[in-house]
Structure 1
Amino acid sequence: MSGPSEDWFHAAPCGLLAMTIDGEITDVNEMFLSWSGHALADLVGQPFASLLDPGSRLFFETRYTQVMHLEGRVNEVALTLMKADGSPMPSLVNSIRDDDAGVIRTAVFNAEERIRYERELLTARRAAESSEERVRILQEISSAFGVSASDEDVAESFAQVARTAFAARETAVHLLQDDGDLKLVGGSNPLVGKVAPIAELRATPHVAVITAGPEETAYPQVAAALREERLAALTITPLVADGVRLGILVCFFARRSEFDSQFFDLLDALSRQASQTLTRVRLQRRLAFLALHDQLTGVANRQLLQLTLDESIAQAIDRNEPLAVMFLDVDDFKSINDAFDHATGDLVLVELAHRLQAGVRSGDVVGRIGGDEFVAICAATDGEAASAVADRILDICCQPIAVPDGIISASVSIGISIHRPGSGARPTAEQMLVRADAAMYDSKRQGKNRHTFDAAGA
């Protein structure tokens, strides 16, 4: 199986470095140079440790080096690199040793935004702890948010805490959706269907207060709906984090119609913490996705493919079901890069990844294993079913691809390995991939744009 091309190395959306086993830098990609401000000529030949601040250098020379020697890889190590201008760049570093090539390959992720977010969160939390009541309530909401795993969890926890904190009869959390509309995600809204949505209130930049009394002249229809529901007032609070609008909190009060500064201070603190928690949950979800998905195409990456294939083999054995693994390689991909450019080549890879996902079944997993190579894992799939899926993929991938400079015709060659129930020793993920890879090269030799089963699956 071939690895990423040199052009992918230099165009990668994260910092990539290659260094000798002794830690001497041999190559650096453009993203790392852009982040750090260093010139390539100044880095090649230098020890990687020389780019680190003193604390990170000590960690690198002791713990990092020890783990790399014993395990051949390190994952998610937090290091502080020094930019060319002397400023620090907090980073997350993953490294793997390639003994065959005699190099250590390292991926560097810029963590400046993450550190900034964490500092802002800490500052906001400290600012919110200005009174005993606020501390108590914030502790309650922190506890509730501690188990939040989704937007819905955050919204429902926030609605419950706000209802208790403000003695509201009901609370509703509406979150902005991708289409720009607000959706009720947590709590309940007693005015649903009784008053038409008011754009001005839904987009309010500040806390809005509407009472049910006759003195409410700005929004008489809302006041009438409040009286119908035997409510005295409502407040609408925007949920904003880092300047990004996330939604609104609406509190409905049965008796209370006047609000003091303490109410608004607490409302601001709770809303800020809820917004930051929502941002954190989304960031964690995004980071978790990025950790297991290819950043160019969005399909599963090598790590997720390995986990999925291990699990699929175990399930196939337990359920006495067949399992198919397809190894796909884009035919003559180098000629596409040569005829157009590598940006166009990336567009082709993205489009083919989408087509592969459309070609497989809903429960199948498609991933990019490197360069122009993809893998599809098809559970409960025998040779006949695998052949049908492969034919569908071949047909879809042959359709013309529109790019800015013209039309590209692409195709893929597919190799398929099959595990059949009771066929012998339990295969490993690597064995199934190697067999599928070999079958893919048979497809190449037979004229490309076709699928071939490995010898055991023929």
Structure 2
Amino acid sequence: MSTTDAAWYDQAPCGLLSTHLDGTIVDVNETLLRWTGYERPQLIGQPFALLLDRGGQMFFETRHRQLLHLQGAVEEVSLTVRTTAGEDLPVLVNAARDEDAALIRFAILNATGRVQYERELVTARRIAEESAQRVRILQEVSTAFGVSATDEDVAQTFAAVAREAFSARDTAVLLLDDDGELALVAGANPLEGKVAPVPELRETTLVTVVHDDDEIFPDVARALRNEELASLSVMPLSAEGERLGVLVCFFATRTDFDAHFFDLQQALGRQASQTVQRVRLQRRLAVLALHDQLTGVANRQLLQLTLDEALATAMAGSDPLAVLFLDIDDFKSINDSFGHATGDLVLVEFAARLREGVRAGDVVGRIGGDEFVALCPGTDAIAAEAIAERILAVCRKPIAVPNGVISASVSVGLSLFDPETDTLETGAQLLVRADAAMYDAKRAGKDRVTVSAA
């Protein structure tokens, strides 16, 4: 194994481990040792099951090993690793038999963030279900909310159900946008442009009613009369202390706002709020599944999907495509000198700088360790080299870290595809050529861009 391969193996963003076919550990990388707190000599020669909790040990011995021997590989098995500190570490385990070496290779992914999001999602669903059981109308609307995929879906369902449930002339669902302003997402606001009833009532924590003769909000009362409305109610939408928006119901006649009305509005509001939260959690989970958890850029899976789409688009439109393979120069020395925590800060900073160096429509991703890829659709050789030079320049800037200043650089390999002159290539081939060009840049002195030969 080369020095570079050894560094990648030890500092990979997942745990790597090899065992004999009987499950005895023969090798383990630094990442897994760091996660578990073990020293390498403590694990070498020990059974893999030593790392697992009791349930995981039973599953591994009675099921996992059998599947490995029958199928040759087992993917994304959820297990729990026990650290030396006695803590539980949820992981996803991929394993495959290496027949040539008579070994089993394991890739172990830290699933702590995923498990936490899933727990939050389950909690939000459970609360929503408990609210739905109280009132029949909530049970009916729960079905509609259950298929909602976006905030807009939830808001539209909420506005329609509220209009029917409360016999309102109009309903409006307004959600807070990124600037903290209320924006109409569903329904209709008959007072739009005439008076701003919502901003005056947006901070209410309870259902608030305003009539057409209200003395506390005279401007709102006047606007109600002008629109031949008798009342409006404002229902705050919030979940776990987070304010999401409001529901406003507009009534043509004076309604009997009794305890049942307020209870039902609050229950329906809770249901809608929890559903919005659930939809957003699901969206975050989807983003998490396709993005690097440390840097926030695309992960290997999303990069491959995007590259395949970009290649198909290039073929369809006869547009060129550029692939940049980037590697931080001497990154191991940064980790050795400043520590892995600082190394992670450097990775995050470089990811931000790469996004700064590319164009708005380009995609930056991390495929592992200190290796990044940039996909640049519609980019010929001249434009691609200009992007690469811009990346080199922005990456040379010193990086301030807690214990000093780091000066680093990147080496860039560039592969190009022009559907008008080149034969059809796969995304994998473009990546391989860009990777090889990056190593040429390393050998030529680093901190430079090298273009792959076609």
TM-score by length of 1: 0.82
Q: 2:126 aligns with which of 122, 125, 131?
A: 122
The match for 1:72 is 73
Instruction: State the distance in 1 between where 2:393 and 2:372 align.
Output: 16
Instruction: State the distance in 1 between where 2:57 and 2:198 align.
Output: 54
The match for 2:231 is 233
The match for 1:51 is 52
Q: 1:109 aligns with which of 108, 111, 117?
A: 111
Summarize the Cα distance change of 1:96–1:290 in structure 2 as closer, same or farther, 3 Å threshold. Answer: farther
TM-score by length of 2: 0.83
SS in 2 for 1:129: helix
Q: Contact between 1:173 and 1:184, CA under 8 Å: does it hold in 2?
A: yes
Amino acid at match of 2:210: I
Instruction: State the distance in 2 between where 1:383 and 1:125 align.
Output: 57
The match for 1:161 is 161
The match for 2:390 is 392
The match for 1:174 is 174
Aligned pairs for 1:210-359 within 5 A: 210-213=210-213, 216-359=214-357
Deviation at 1:368, TM superposition (A): 0.7
Instruction: State the distance in 2 between where 1:60 and 1:188 align.
Output: 61
* Cα deviation code 1:290-321 (max 9, x no counterpart): 11111111111111111112222233333333
Summarize the Cα distance change of 1:199–1:108 in structure 2 as closer, same or farther, 3 Å threshold. Answer: same
Q: Does 1:192 align with 2:196?
A: no
Q: Contact between 1:365 and 1:378, CA under 8 Å: does it hold in 2?
A: yes
Q: Contact between 2:7 and 2:332, CA under 8 Å: does it hold in 1?
A: no
Deviation at 1:85, TM superposition (A): 11
* Cα deviation code 1:104-154 (max 9, x no counterpart): 011142325533542453354244323xxx42x335433433442222222
SS in 1 for 2:323: strand
The match for 1:93 is 92
Deviation at 1:87, TM superposition (A): 10
Instruction: State the distance in 2 between where 1:440 and 1:325 align.
Output: 11
* Cα deviation code 1:48-87 (max 9, x no counterpart): 4883565994488436862796363513x55577899999
Q: Contact between 1:68 and 1:97, CA under 8 Å: does it hold in 2?
A: no
Of residues 64-73 and 342-351 in structure 1, the stretch that sits farther from structure 2 once superposed is 64-73
Deviation at 1:449, TM superposition (A): 1.5
Instruction: State the distance in 1 between where 2:69 and 2:232 align.
Output: 59
Q: Does 1:426 align with 2:424?
A: yes
Amino acid at match of 2:153: D
Q: How many residues align?
A: 439
Amino acid at match of 1:371: G
SS in 1 for 2:296: coil
SS in 1 for 2:256: coil
Instruction: State the distance in 2 between where 1:193 and 1:187 align.
Output: 15
Instruction: State the distance in 2 between where 1:237 and 1:3 align.
Output: 59
SS in 1 for 2:111: strand
CA RMSD of aligned residues (A): 3.5
Amino acid at match of 2:427: A
Structure 1: runs of 5 or more not aligned: 34-38
Q: Contact between 2:38 and 2:84, CA under 8 Å: does it hold in 1?
A: no
Summarize the Cα distance change of 1:337–1:279 in structure 2 as closer, same or farther, 3 Å threshold. Answer: same
Q: Contact between 1:172 and 1:187, CA under 8 Å: does it hold in 2?
A: yes
Q: Contact between 1:16 and 1:31, CA under 8 Å: does it hold in 2?
A: no
Instruction: State the distance in 2 between where 1:31 and 1:170 align.
Output: 59
The match for 1:36 is none
Instruction: State the distance in 1 between where 2:34 and 2:242 align.
Output: 27
Q: Contact between 1:367 and 1:375, CA under 8 Å: does it hold in 2?
A: yes
SS in 1 for 2:209: strand
Deviation at 1:2, TM superposition (A): 5.1
Of residues 291-300 and 413-422 in structure 1, the stretch that sits farther from structure 2 once superposed is 413-422
